[in-house]
Structure 1
Amino acid sequence: MVLEKVEGKLLWEPSRQLQENSNIKQFMTWLEETRGLSFQTYHQLWKWSVSDIEGFWSSLWHFFNIQAKTPYDEVLEERKMPGARWFSGATLNYAEHIFRHDLSEEIAVIYETEIRSQGKLTWDELKKNTAAIAEYLKSLGVKRGDRVVAYASNIHETLTAFLACASIGAVWSSCAPEFGIMSVVDRFKQIEPKVLFAVDGYRYGGKDYDRLELVKTLQEELPSLQKTIIIPYLHEHPNVDELKNAALWNDLIAKYKGATLTFEPVPFDHPLWILYSSGTTGKPKAIVHSQGGILLEHLKILSLQMDLKKGDRFFWYTTTGWMMWNVVVSGLLTGSTILLYDGNPGYPNYDTLWKFVESTKMTALGTSASFLTACMKAEVKPKEHFDLSHLKSIGSTGSPLPPSGFEWVYENVKEDVWLFSTSGGTDLCTAFVGGTPLLPVHAGELQACALGASVKAYNDRGEEVVDEIGELVITEPMPSMPIYFWGDENGMRYKESYFDVYPGIWRHGDFIKMTSRGSCIIYGRSDATINRGGIRMGTSEIYNALESIPEVVESLVVDLPITSEQSYMPLFVVLKEGVQLSDDLKTRIKQAIRQNCSPRHVPNDIFRVEELPKTLNGKKLEIPIKKILMGTPVDKAVNLGSLLNPEALQYFLEFKKNRDGR
């Protein structure tokens, strides 16, 4: 099956009923009734939200009825980046807002894994479990500001541990159990945790991975640890005799059954959790987000942009090592049921995730662009085999979804589904361009900038451009921007990460085009751009061109300068099993790039590789590979502990050696 690349093609329009019943329409009505502000279109509302930012964010505070123990003195003390201080004086608790819905016997969580059959927790059960773990943490002396970490899977116990941690004002951080030991140490050692939650192992793709030996090593590497709680997951009765100061999850739930859940009020800018940059070229940055900033931002993005309500069933395929896990947890803020899946979504085949959609009566499916394009290339047709009548929306993130991926969804999943591609970052733990139920969907485009996100495209001179590719910048502060990096005493690493190019303006590191109708197109990382003969192009444009070649599973392209006038551009492709890189296939690849990108971006050579090296979050290593091929030593070009498959680098080291030997 070959789908044409038709960027900008109209694929879907929201029904009048969807628009009128949406949360964002209710918000607009509320603004008119309470603030005297009238907006006829989404874009009018957005423009107000990024010009009167104090008015916008304070309106969210009241619209969502934020429960503060003490009121705020000022919405925004200083309108600057970095250094904006939001809602000073206010004290609140994120977890209290999770449990403020009166839904005790309703389902809060539905979960399924490769080990466990589908199960569920009511809101009352989740609250009781959270109370038990919170009481246990308090018995250990864990208090406001202490760090609690998890080396655990996307299961309900991990969710419970986080909520318990947040309820007492402790600071949470997690890594997925597929992370290698040094990757975990690089992250957790920076923040000196007091307590560790860990699974005894996990199953992925039908294969079991024991983790107790790694937990033992982790205990040795983290001298600050006082207690380790093992969650039985791979084994019913894991042996923890060789671990120091270890307890079993089930014993704690039983011992502290009947505890009452209370909530520690903390300042708006008190740390909630610590996320990490990919750490491909050095130690991962420990990014700290605030309780209040995440509470407001996630209420906005989930309720107003994704339109989640009570009765919805919200899912995003993720692990605990990716920010989308944190977003899924926040789905509970809206009163929705959240769905957790742990395992390989393509095992034993691509039907697995679609079966989960059907069996859970999922209303909102979130996944990656790579999963959707993999289903497309495997010629999966979910609508022919599964009941998807409950499914209202599909969100895609992780990388740009090509136009062909959009069309595949409407042809093979559901013709009336709201498909929104979305883009943001771990840095803000949100999407700043993405979906809205008020606007149409065009192939290859993100519908609009998110409310409160002053996103613009800048050219090389720092000027705003429309209908041109430019640097993605954010020109006004947002509450979920990091409050700081852990251990960054003078804030220099924070400033260098986002404000080194445009002082006072957040430079995200992506290429974006803002269309004249207000939609956006993401073109990949700006530091991976390819400039051939004066024509700049994001690598994602080349990858999108290859979507029409069914034999190509994945690709990676780099441009290596030879002189100021010349460069060498090799393309590396992963092919379907059994497919050879024939001259005919090379010709078709080059034709696709020539026709869809430009003749100047046709690669000099094409090479087949077994796999591409990726970060633990599954992102391709474009810049590190370029550095290695230009002669940078491996240990300087990439942090091996940050890689999912470091052995995949060997091909590129051999490639460099052979090229030098010509």
Structure 2
Amino acid sequence: MEPQWVPSAADIAGARVTDFATFVTARTGESFPDYQSLWQWSVDNVAGFWGALWDYFELGERSGAVLVSTEMPGTKWFPAQQLNYVEQVVRQARTDRPAILGVDEDGSVIELSWAELLGGTAAFARALRELGVGRGDRVAGYLPNIPHAVIAFLATASIGAVWSACGQDYSAQAALDRLGQLEPKVLVTADGYRFGGKTHDKTADIAALRAGLPSLAVTVLVSRIGGTLPDVLAWDELLAAPGGQIDIAPVDFEHPLWVLYSSGTTGKPKGIVHGHGGVLLEHLKAVALQSDIGRDDTFFWYTSPSWMMWNFQVAGLLTGATIVTYDGSPSTPTPDALWAIAARTGATVVGTSPGYVLACAKAGVVPRRDHDLSALRMVGITGSSLPPSSSLWLRDNVGEHIPVASISGGTDVVSAFIGGVRTVPVWPGELSAPYLGVALDAWDEKGHPVRGAVGELVITKPMPSMPVRFWDDEDGSRYHDAYFDMYPGVWRHGDWITVNDHGSITVHGRSDSTLNRHGIRMGSADIYQVVEALPEVAEALVLGIELPEGRYWMPLFVVPAAGVELTDEVKARINTAIRAEVSPRHVPDEIITAPGIPHTRTGKKLEVPLKKLFQGAELSRVVAPTAVDDPALLTWYAQHTPPN
């Protein structure tokens, strides 16, 4: 297969990563003829690389060691260093371009200058302090993707408090399962959001969420749709007074910046704690060096505050770029709405999912013909694997001069392990290269490296944005079991990959049971909580299955309660409950009546083995019948095949 995009000499010479390589050469005398050699140096010299990154971005005088050891888990980064994520945002302040373009589904665009962003941050930070919020306290967001969310996050981080957020497509219970773990002092929310041509009033959900958060001292309400709630502080009133300078609190390198959440596949979502320093370094590397985003860019990634890509897009501010927030659907009012937003905002980097690209292809849209995308110079893709046909569709219908930077990583490191870089070719359906500082490999089940064959994605050396810890995991056992149980001392991520002979990586999907639909990772536990509470349902099993040509099948197998027939009416009731109590993204592709759900002997549903079965693996190779509580059920599942 030939590359679909090859960097020109001008691309390579003008890339920020090339400038960084020159910087490292001047420091070390090392020669880097290509990206691969720079990557190899970065993983062979862990402390040297991350120290050079700190110095390259001029983050201040360094003191002490870069890291204490490379042992995982438990690596301690920059133990003598203090900093604050927000300091780097403040350094980028400018007057010639906006900081944020806030786009609404109705087509309106609000420009927020850097002065307005930093002034609002200062005002909100002052309000938080006056409300008694201090270092280590938690501030929770239940918000759509609007500029207010960015201001609230920056204000929280600036005083050393801890931010955590959910998008408003989550039900009150789903949000409470996450935010309730943190016992937040302040809730920042909006009365509603817009999606798919509809306005969604969230006041009832907010009331339920507040009732489940006894730790709350105050709720701050952003007015979006004219809804009202009692006993709230109005956002506009809090920010009415001039903000002045931000009083930034220095914190330790690993002081918590935010808490993100696992998908909740096996139970309550795990709270993943990331530190100020690790995120700052990782995001500067990922945004500036890998994505080549800088002060001349407008960065638009379709995302939600529930998803780590929201945090990733905010990092555009760390490089002085303009970021675009969007409250709405990428397909409303027309299937190519995302490309219309890109044109309207002059976006230079646009990010979306394979599912959206496939939907555009099926709808017959031609963005390059119908929209002015002259500013666009890169398309980012994440969430699941991008098939070659979709990658080539982007080339033919968006622009052959525009590289497709497909990336793969996770909430776990709030970044990517693999992705694009301006100096490396793009092959259809493949990810161009490992990110700098990511000691990536593909291993078989015995821990041996494999090439040209499918293996487990592993990281053999630490990264500073690996979690500081999990929330409420005092002894670190859940953290250890999540990543280091299979290969002691080595991070196993849960993806199947192939390292190709020309250095690119093919990602085949999750090797665990996380649902990953339309670019949003979700947990089966959220679905079970709703479906199995219905009187018509005895038990349920949901699977998320990657199929050839970029297809994704998410069936829900349901065992009806005694005397119940799974009629169309009952199925509609199940879908309605999922849509209302979890989110529309969690609604399955089809509901199938099942005679039973197979479990391990300890009662765990066989999600992973059955997923492998539906992807074509032989039954005898995915699960031993002796390990199953009802082996006869396996034969029934083996007789079902995914749709063509």
TM (norm. structure 1) is 0.81
Match for residue 36 of structure 1 among 29, 34, 39: 29
Structure 2 partner of 1:288: 273
How far residue 628 of structure 1 moved from its aligned partner, in angstroms, is 9.6
How far residue 621 of structure 1 moved from its aligned partner, in angstroms, is 8.1
Matches within 5 A, 1:434-453: 434-453=419-438
Could you tell me how far apart the structure 2 residues matched to 1:626 and 1:444 are?
A: 35
Structure 1 partner of 2:203: 212
Pair 1:221 & 2:219 matched: no
Could you tell me how far apart the structure 1 residues matched to 2:336 and 2:373 are?
A: 13
For residue 11 of structure 1, give the secondary structure of its aligned residue in structure 2.
coil
Could you tell me how far apart the structure 1 residues matched to 2:447 and 2:634 are?
A: 40
Are residues 436 and 628 of structure 1, via their aligned partners in 2, closer, same or farther at CA, if it must alter by over 3 Å?
farther
Structure 2 partner of 1:108: 99
Structure 1 partner of 2:118: 127
Pair 1:253 & 2:253 matched: no
How far residue 102 of structure 1 moved from its aligned partner, in angstroms, is 4.1
Give the letter for the 1:465 counterpart: V
Could you tell me how far apart the structure 1 residues matched to 2:116 and 2:553 are?
A: 46
Q: Deviations over 1:524-544 (max 9, x none)?
A: 111369xxxxxxxxx999623
Are residues 102 and 228 of structure 1, via their aligned partners in 2, closer, same or farther at CA, if it must alter by over 3 Å?
closer
Structure 2 partner of 1:544: 548
Match for residue 379 of structure 1 among 364, 367, 373: 364
Pair 1:82 & 2:73 matched: yes
Q: Which moved more, 1:508-517 or 1:348-357?
A: 348-357
Give the letter for the 1:252 counterpart: L
Structure 1 partner of 2:616: none
8 Å Cα contact 2:191-2:201 kept in structure 1: yes
For residue 272 of structure 1, give the secondary structure of its aligned residue in structure 2.
strand
Match for residue 50 of structure 1 among 34, 43, 64: 43
8 Å Cα contact 1:115-1:234 kept in structure 2: no
8 Å Cα contact 1:135-1:259 kept in structure 2: no
Could you tell me how far apart the structure 1 residues matched to 2:575 and 2:208 are?
A: 32
Structure 2 partner of 1:239: 228
8 Å Cα contact 1:113-1:343 kept in structure 2: yes
Structure 2 partner of 1:171: 162
Q: Deviations over 1:13-43 (max 9, x none)?
A: 0111111011001001111123322211111
Matches within 5 A, 1:351-370: 351-370=336-355
Q: Which moved more, 1:372-381 or 1:166-175?
A: 372-381
Could you tell me how far apart the structure 2 residues matched to 1:290 and 1:221 are?
A: 27
Could you tell me how far apart the structure 1 residues matched to 2:432 and 2:388 are?
A: 13
TM (norm. structure 2) is 0.83
Are residues 92 and 542 of structure 1, via their aligned partners in 2, closer, same or farther at CA, if it must alter by over 3 Å?
closer
8 Å Cα contact 2:545-2:554 kept in structure 1: no
Q: Which runs of 5+ in 1 are unaligned?
A: 1-7, 530-538, 548-553, 560-608, 640-655
Q: Could you list the runs of 4 or more consecutive aligned residues of structure 1 that deviate by over 4 angstroms after TM superposition?
A: 539-542, 556-559, 609-622, 624-629, 635-639, 656-660
Match for residue 61 of structure 1 among 54, 57, 60: 54
Match for residue 310 of structure 2 among 302, 325, 339: 325
Could you tell me how far apart the structure 2 residues matched to 1:356 and 1:428 are?
A: 29
Pair 1:196 & 2:187 matched: yes
Match for residue 520 of structure 1 among 505, 512, 515: 505
Could you tell me how far apart the structure 1 residues matched to 2:584 and 2:57 are?
A: 32
How far residue 307 of structure 1 moved from its aligned partner, in angstroms, is 0.3
Equivalent pairs, count: 565
Could you tell me how far apart the structure 1 residues matched to 2:296 and 2:550 are?
A: 40
Give the letter for the 1:342 counterpart: D
Give the letter for the 1:10 counterpart: P
Structure 1 partner of 2:335: 350
Give the letter for the 1:500 counterpart: D
8 Å Cα contact 2:157-2:257 kept in structure 1: yes
How far residue 613 of structure 1 moved from its aligned partner, in angstroms, is 8.1
Pair 1:276 & 2:261 matched: yes
8 Å Cα contact 1:110-1:338 kept in structure 2: yes
Q: Deviations over 1:500-537 (max 9, x none)?
A: 100000000110000121100000111369xxxxxxxx
How far residue 557 of structure 1 moved from its aligned partner, in angstroms, is 7.8
Q: Deviations over 1:209-242 (max 9, x none)?
A: 111122122111111110100001122xx4233x
Could you tell me how far apart the structure 2 residues matched to 1:469 and 1:610 are?
A: 35
For residue 99 of structure 2, give the secondary structure of its aligned residue in structure 1.
strand
Q: Deviations over 1:105-139 (max 9, x none)?
A: 52111111125611111111111111110110011
Q: Which runs of 5+ in 2 are unaligned?
A: 515-542, 558-573, 608-632
8 Å Cα contact 2:385-2:550 kept in structure 1: no
Structure 2 partner of 1:230: 221
8 Å Cα contact 1:321-1:617 kept in structure 2: no
Structure 2 partner of 1:18: 11
8 Å Cα contact 1:306-1:437 kept in structure 2: yes
For residue 134 of structure 1, give the secondary structure of its aligned residue in structure 2.
helix
Pair 1:299 & 2:266 matched: no
Could you tell me how far apart the structure 1 residues matched to 2:587 and 2:206 are?
A: 28
Give the letter for the 1:250 counterpart: D
How far residue 382 of structure 1 moved from its aligned partner, in angstroms, is 0.8
Match for residue 97 of structure 1 among 88, 106, 109: 88
Are residues 233 and 115 of structure 1, via their aligned partners in 2, closer, same or farther at CA, if it must alter by over 3 Å?
farther
Are residues 482 and 230 of structure 1, via their aligned partners in 2, closer, same or farther at CA, if it must alter by over 3 Å?
same
For residue 441 of structure 1, give the secondary structure of its aligned residue in structure 2.
coil
How far residue 337 of structure 1 moved from its aligned partner, in angstroms, is 0.6
Could you tell me how far apart the structure 2 residues matched to 1:620 and 1:445 are?
A: 29
Q: Deviations over 1:172-226 (max 9, x none)?
A: 0000011011111111111110100000111111112111122122111111110
For residue 477 of structure 1, give the secondary structure of its aligned residue in structure 2.
coil
Could you tell me how far apart the structure 2 residues matched to 1:612 and 1:371 are?
A: 25
How far residue 637 of structure 1 moved from its aligned partner, in angstroms, is 5.0
Give the letter for the 2:384 counterpart: S
Matches within 5 A, 1:395-410: 395-410=380-395
Structure 2 partner of 1:489: 474
Q: Deviations over 1:562-581 (max 9, x none)?
A: xxxxxxxxxxxxxxxxxxxx
Could you tell me how far apart the structure 1 residues matched to 2:242 and 2:217 are?
A: 23
For residue 129 of structure 1, give the secondary structure of its aligned residue in structure 2.
helix
Could you tell me how far apart the structure 1 residues matched to 2:187 and 2:40 are?
A: 44
Could you tell me how far apart the structure 1 residues matched to 2:604 and 2:355 are?
A: 29
Match for residue 428 of structure 1 among 408, 413, 436: 413
How far residue 616 of structure 1 moved from its aligned partner, in angstroms, is 5.7
Pair 1:336 & 2:310 matched: no
For residue 12 of structure 1, give the secondary structure of its aligned residue in structure 2.
coil
8 Å Cα contact 1:400-1:540 kept in structure 2: no
8 Å Cα contact 1:474-1:507 kept in structure 2: yes
8 Å Cα contact 1:318-1:324 kept in structure 2: yes
Are residues 618 and 421 of structure 1, via their aligned partners in 2, closer, same or farther at CA, if it must alter by over 3 Å?
farther
What RMSD, in angstroms, separates the aligned Cα atoms of the two structures?
3.0
